[in-house]
Each structure stands twice: as structure tokens, then as C-alpha cells.
Amino acid sequence: MLVRAVLIWCVLLVIASINGIAREAVLIPRFGDAAGRAVSTLALSAFIVILTWISIAWIAPRSAPQAWAVGVMWVALTLAFEFLAGHYLFHNPWSRLLEDYDVARGRIWILVLFTTLFAPWVCAGLRTLMAVD
């Protein structure tokens, strides 16, 4: 199960990268920084839910705790990539990396992390409910 979950996270990483390119190339120039980032965050959250919905049966968590474990692992991988690759590979200063977590400044990136955490549990639960009916 965890190997399949990591593979799906890799797909999420590609989707998030494409989303980031679109944000910088299209959304921010067209709508401004705050609105562009907000639209990008909402779009990425939607993509996360859609991909999770499509893939959760393949990931196959057998219980709610296993679905939670997938979400926790996805968030841990996301944060590790965000900060470690962001700083050491892409040479962004820590202050720049932390800007997206400043909700007081209107940054709602944290919504992506909450979506990433909850999506496996919600989608697995809904799929189970739908299979029973």
C-alpha cells in the first residue's frame, strides 16, 4: 500500500509542479500575486482530491488508520520536498519558503496541506460507503 501511495504522491508532485508553472506564467501576471496564488492553491487542492478519488482503490488502504497514514505520509513528503529541495536544490532562502505559510498575509497554501492530509481518508471512506449502498 505505501509503495503505491508514494507513486501517487510522485504524480501529485508533477501536478503541483505544473500548477506552479501555470501560476507563475499565467495566473499571477493576469490576476496579480494574491489572486493568482489563491486560484493556484484552490486548483491544486481540487487536483489532489480528484487524483485521490481516482487512485484510492488502487492504493487500497484497508482501514481508516491506513488511509490517515497515507495522508500523513503525503504531507511529510510534501513538506520535505518543499523545504529540503526548495532550499538545497533550488537555493531559496528559508524566509522565502516560509512566506507561503503566512496566513495573516493572505497566503492560503496551508489549504493544500490540509487537503493532502484529509483526501485519502475522505475518499476511502466515501468509496466504502458507495460500495455498500
Instruction: Supply the pTM of this predicted model.
Output: 0.92
Q: How far apart are CA 45 and CA 111, in angstroms?
A: 7
* Tens-place pLDDT, residues 27-80: 999 999 999 999 999 999 999 999 999 999 999 999 999 999 999 999 999 999
What is the DSSP-derived secondary structure letter of residue 104?
Answer: G
pLDDT at 131: 79
pLDDT at 132: 64
Residue spans of the domains in the chain: they are 2-132
pLDDT at 27: 97
